[in-house]
Structure 1
Amino acid sequence: MTDTVTTSPTSLVSAPAQQHRLPTKALLGLFLAGFISILTECLPAGLLPEMSETLGTSVSLTGQTVTLYALATALGAIPLARATATWRRKQVLQVALAVVAVTNALTALSSDYALTMVLRFVAGLGTGLIWPLLGGYAARLAPQGRQGRAIAIALAGTPIGLALGIPLGTLLSHLGGWELAFYAAAALTALSIAWVLVAVPNLPGRPVDSRFKISQVLAIPGLRPILFALATYMVAHNLLYTYITDLLAHEGMAGQTGWILFTFGATSVLSVLVVGAHIDQHLRRLMVSSTVLFGAGVLVLGEASGTLILVYVAVAAWGFAFGSSPSLFVGAAINATRDAADVAQSITITVFSASIAVGGFLGGLLIAGLGTTWLIWAALALLIAAAATVLGGKRYAFPRNG
């Protein structure tokens, strides 16, 4: 269906696979594409007060720039992957990155809320082209027997982008306004296009695989619990992450926002490094630990009552739990579906993006209707549901031998 991760050996072998070393430069290009995609998605979350003032809207309404972007990615991932399946892979990646670069620059120029929302939707469609592409592209570039490591490198841009998106946006906003953050994102995207042009081989596309229909894949034992756990986990994260600046201001810690977000980013990156070394042998244990640790961090955050050290501890736990979660959920989906892993990953990406959209939308409703503090307790309830699902999925979704 799409050029995504698959566990079938024949689908992972290509001409570049005759090499003995990983194509580091090419994989860096794929890493940058994933990093830019998620960086662009969550960038407004660190700029909400400033953007709200420019656009003449409330913080909750401005937060929907994240929601709409994620919604566009969710809606576009599967149909756009189908439409471009036979295109050469480099062309698809460069077109998508060009869309993101142009819309980021235009967003920086916009002072109109409606126009900004249209631009964010189009940018989200660009990301909808990128995400289903990365895993399979990396696998086809890698030597036989090293595809897993190649995929991990390519996909690492997503959690690192999630970890650093808001801190980078906040820092650049302090240096030169929220517009500078979007100009910088556009410039980085343009540099990535150049890197991809020079360093990434231009592999051919492949016809849509019609062996597995979406309904058939969803019926595979274990996949639906994985998707439910993913949805609840990601909605919980985005309830908090999209509105973290507003949440910290409500707690009287606006002046600590940069350092707190740096703490989140640092522990997220640490998580990627630590979990990446053990994911093949201990996926279930890591998945259980991730949901429980995230829930514990949120509980501490809710009980911190303005105590600075507890907020730092809670955010550090949250970042460490969350940093590797995309890899864990994608890995679980691939393990559960095997030959249908390509379709399963497209579905997983759609649920992932839709959950970001739901989290941003629901967070805006909670702030407007019940108050900022309710973000924490809604996230905790969702994480309890996620943890229960992971713990209960012993047979198919998150098996004991994983």
Structure 2
Amino acid sequence: MTETTASASPAAVRGRDRLPGRALFGLFVAGFIGILTECLPAGLLPEISRTLNTSVAATGQIVTIYAAATAVAAIPLSRLTAKWSRKSVLQVALGIVTVTNALTALSTAYTLTMIIRFVAGLGTALVWTQLAGYAARLSPANVQGRAIAIALAGTPISLAIGVPVGTWLRTFDGWETAFWVSAALALVNMLWFVVFLPDLPGQADHERFTLRQVVAMPGLRTILFALTTYMVAHNILYTYVTDFLRSAGMAAQAGWVLFAFGVASVLSVVVVGAHIDRHLRKLIVASTLLFAVSVLVLAVLVGVPVLVYVAAAAWGLAVGSSPSLFIGGAINAGGEAADVAQSIVISFFSASIALGGLVGGLLIDGLGTGSLTWSSLVLLIAAAIAVLGGRKHAFPKGA
């Protein structure tokens, strides 16, 4: 990755030649908690719906409203808190997540739960807009990409491990237990930051950029287009993967297919973390092409179970660290406005989650489950064209 002004961190100035491990671990856990808080209800919907006295479909909207809040709030909240010290922003954000997870466990009213989840999404929006930039500013320039990959690794690992474990926790004393544990984890994370996270200043007035200025920066629009098509393709398929597997006669194996996807996602963290600083462009090209090939296999050879497993693992390997790759590209393209560029990417990322679920549902209703893979493939071809064509500014050669 290329060096930005924001990377002239205390760590770099002091000549530190290694990663700030304890600080990065805290940032990793913060990202882990963000995804856990968002997706935890997905494994608990029947039990939550009984408590709230609503249908499973209606209860599922507590996931949707969370993602929508994150998408809508990332940019304005990032601008609002631009002058705050970075540590203060993270502490406030984690405080919101702690309180809202506890309140979710206590609530028995649907409307109140929806409001609580919306506020929780606001807190997570603040968390995600800080992780990559914070990690980069704390780390020496030659390993900033690795630092970002570590900070954002909580996303795939939470999906692969955190959500299943959270779902298992309901066996102790109901679904509320999972949210109490998540709240406790966020509180511990706050205490960890008090001790181990160095503070960094916010932006002075003369350092601030308008959204129009940032979006006009060379390469950023290409990154946003590639990110959106890539992530919508992923969420079209991932949201309805169990329905896809059912149509393929593999409903009983859905858990194992998802396990293969999850293990490969975690592996991708190791692979990308080791090479992102020197080979960002090669990794994003490989990720996009590998994802496209995986979807093509699922579309054409879904009747061969062993190939479904291989394709799912390849899909996980491609997607697992994609946030690190796209955000790393945005930080490079954003230069001195890296923090604003990052908040824009987070908004597009979160919106793509909601849009993928919406489009996937419309495709199933209108064209059938088989349309999921072909639609995703079309989007990935568009993403690949953008990535391959963005060799000058978005994903430059040598980055």
TM-score > 0.5 by shorter chain:
yes
**CA shift in 2, pair 1:43/1:22, >3 Å:** same
Distance 2:45 2:383 in 1: 28
8 A Cα contact 1:69 1:357, kept in partner: no
The aligned residue for residue 67 of structure 1 is 64
Q: Return the letter of the residue paired with 2:9.
A: V
The aligned residue for residue 13 of structure 1 is 9
CA displacement 1:178-237 (0-9 Å, x = unmatched) = 444333322322222222223223444333555532112222232211101100111121
Distance 1:213 1:359 in 2: 29
Distance 1:382 1:280 in 2: 27
8 A Cα contact 2:232 2:352, kept in partner: yes
TM-score normalised per structure 2: 0.86
Distance 2:168 2:242 in 1: 13
Distance 1:26 1:53 in 2: 40
Distance 2:51 2:9 in 1: 51
1:295 pairs with 2:292: yes
**CA shift in 2, pair 1:401/1:91, >3 Å:** closer
1:102 pairs with 2:102: no
1:350 pairs with 2:347: yes
Deviation, structure 1 residue 6: 9.2
The aligned residue for residue 359 of structure 1 is 356
Deviation, structure 1 residue 143: 5.1
The aligned residue for residue 324 of structure 1 is 321
Deviation, structure 1 residue 72: 1.0
Q: Return the letter of the residue paired with 1:29.
A: G
Distance 1:323 1:353 in 2: 16
Distance 2:387 2:101 in 1: 37
1:134 pairs with 2:131: yes
The aligned residue for residue 278 of structure 2 is 281
Unmatched 5+ residue regions in structure 2? none
Q: Return the letter of the residue paired with 2:129.
A: P
Distance 1:340 1:253 in 2: 47
Distance 2:143 2:65 in 1: 37
Deviation, structure 1 residue 267: 0.5
8 A Cα contact 2:143 2:277, kept in partner: no
Number of equivalent positions: 398
Distance 1:308 1:54 in 2: 38
8 A Cα contact 1:63 1:243, kept in partner: no
Deviation, structure 1 residue 123: 0.9
1:35 pairs with 2:8: no
The aligned residue for residue 234 of structure 1 is 231
Deviation, structure 1 residue 122: 1.0
CA displacement 1:95-123 (0-9 Å, x = unmatched) = 21121122223333445443332222111
SS of residue matched to 1:87: coil
**CA shift in 2, pair 1:144/1:230, >3 Å:** closer
8 A Cα contact 1:66 1:357, kept in partner: no
Distance 1:116 1:380 in 2: 36
8 A Cα contact 1:69 1:121, kept in partner: yes
The aligned residue for residue 388 of structure 2 is 391
8 A Cα contact 1:31 1:156, kept in partner: yes
CA displacement 1:342-390 (0-9 Å, x = unmatched) = 3222211221111112223333444455554443333222222212222
**CA shift in 2, pair 1:76/1:220, >3 Å:** same
Q: Return the letter of the residue paired with 2:8.
A: L
**CA shift in 2, pair 1:147/1:318, >3 Å:** closer
CA displacement 1:300-356 (0-9 Å, x = unmatched) = 233454643233212101100001211111222233343333322221122111111
Deviation, structure 1 residue 141: 3.2
**CA shift in 2, pair 1:83/1:271, >3 Å:** same
1:80 pairs with 2:80: no
Unmatched 5+ residue regions in structure 1? none
The aligned residue for residue 253 of structure 2 is 256
8 A Cα contact 2:223 2:394, kept in partner: yes
Distance 2:214 2:355 in 1: 23
TM-score normalised per structure 1: 0.86
Q: Which of 154, 157, 166 is residue 157 of structure 1 equivalent to?
A: 154
**CA shift in 2, pair 1:59/1:400, >3 Å:** farther
Distance 2:153 2:208 in 1: 29
Distance 2:280 2:86 in 1: 30
SS of residue matched to 1:277: helix
